[in-house]
Amino acid sequence: MSESKEVDYTLNNPDTLTKYKTAAQISQTVLEAVKSWIAEDAKILELCERGDKLLLEETAKVYKGKKISKGIAHPTTVSPSSFVTPYTPLSSDADEAAATLKGAEFIKIQLGAHIDGFGAIVCDTVVVPSEDKHHEREADLILATYWANELLLRLLLPPGLLAQGSDEEKQKAAATKPISQARITLLLEKVVASYGCKLVESTTCWSFERNEIEGKKKIIMAPVDGVKGEGVPEIGDVWGVEVGVSLGTGKMKTLSNRPTLHRRTTTTYGLKRPTSRQILSEVVKKFGTFPFSLRQLEDERAAKMGVLECVRGNVLRQYEVVGDKDGEPVARVFSTVAITKNGLTRLASPPAPDLSKYRSDKKITDEEILSLLDLPLAKASTSKSKPKKK
């Protein structure tokens, strides 16, 4: 009997990239659907529920008959204007369940699908349409966020990956020391400052792995309390790239809203309450190690009780609801990207805004940043185009 080969889950295996791309396509489809439902007075809870329903419907259509896990890598969340973190209320919390969108506010939609544990998460910022309301600094916030994200993606490229010239010149470029995280923060701060904005403190990008969206590497922008990131982006990596920008100071505070997002940890703990054990069992079966909302559990009210011991015992991590300290509007985008020998590929990412719609008297003037933004993200295609038939 032949020994079963260990499965290669890295990007060296073409199936891995295919699964990431399939999950990403689903995430993009659902993101656009949720965006189309955005309207003044729309209920946040209903938007989240509809988004999750669509994620499950779309993942059910692919890899039929295959013995692989698939589903939600990140529940649909809709965060109001000053909220920084993903937000999804519960139907059993009457006040929060009744929360609706306000005209002209900046909302953040985040969600994700996974195929065989390969998650593709995406987040975009949308301004709620309104006939009679308009935020005077809408253009500044949207443009600052867009260009900061574009710059960050270019700073993730390993040194020399897209270098041109002689072999000697390419080797010299590849030997360059990777950009430091402090330098990344400095450059991004310059971009957003061009539009009178601030980076949201402690915004973190994580490397992705199979069944893991907070891997071994992380980049922390505008860190506080001496916290540092770990590792550098390399060929073969998949990253969750996040950018948060505020019209205020960029400082954060924990809000009074109930934390409803959780995620299983690797900690084992002897839970005493039957309800807690039941909740953990359901989480393991339904979500694995991906984030989930208490509203996705079978008994939401029991979940609110059972989750308490799980969090105390550190078998579940609780995501606090965090917002801008001054209540100022915040924009946030999140992309899932792959780094290959040919450059950086956007797997799931927010679509570029129509820049012609955003008029601002501010602009980026720093020559270094402008030159970095001119750099490509990937090598140009070498395939020769066929001559057109006359």
Task: Render pLDDT for 125-180 as a digit per residue (tens, 0 to 9).
Answer: 999 999 888 888 999 999 999 999 999 999 999 998 988 888 888 788 888 889 99
Note whether 269 and 314 are within 8 A (CB).
Answer: yes
Taking the mean position of all CA atoms in its chain, how far away is CA 307? 25
DSSP 209: B
Q: Of all residues in the chain, what percent carry a pLDDT higher than 90? A: 86
Q: How many C-beta atoms lie closer than 10 Å to residue 139's C-beta?
A: 18
Phi/psi class of residue 248: alpha, beta or left (left: φ > 0; alpha: ψ in -120 to 50)? beta
Task: Render pLDDT for 241-297 as a digit per residue (tens, 0 to 9).
Answer: 999 999 999 999 999 999 999 999 999 888 999 999 999 999 999 999 999 999 999
Note whether 332 and 324 are within 8 A (CB).
Answer: no
Amino acid at 174: A
Facing residues of 112 across strands?
74, 121
The predicted structure's pLDDT at residue 382: 55
What span, in angstroms and rounded, lies between the C-alpha atoms of 133 and 159?
Answer: 46
What span, in angstroms and rounded, lies between the C-alpha atoms of 100 and 45?
Answer: 8
Note whether 327 and 82 are within 8 A (CB).
Answer: yes
Instruction: Note the pTM of the prediction, 2 decimals.
Output: 0.94
Note whether 77 and 88 are within 8 A (CB).
Answer: yes
Which CA distances in Å does 236 have to 3, 16, 214, 281, 309? Answer: 27, 11, 16, 33, 38
Which CA distances in Å does 312 have to 167, 270, 294, 322? Answer: 56, 11, 16, 20
Check pLDDT > 50 for residue 384.
Answer: no
**pLDDT average, residue stretch 105-115:** 98
What span, in angstroms and rounded, lies between the C-alpha atoms of 208 and 183?
Answer: 23
What span, in angstroms and rounded, lies between the C-alpha atoms of 119 and 353?
Answer: 24
Note whether 191 and 364 are within 8 A (CB).
Answer: yes
Q: How many C-beta atoms lie closer than 10 Å to residue 277's C-beta?
A: 15
Run of H or E residues at 171: helix 167-174
- As to burial, measured by CB atoms within 10 angstroms (0-12 exposed, 13-18 middle, 19+ buried), residue 367 is exposed
The predicted structure's pLDDT at residue 383: 47
Task: Render pLDDT for 311-356 as a digit per residue (tens, 0 to 9).
Answer: 999 999 999 999 999 999 999 999 999 999 999 999 999 999 999 9
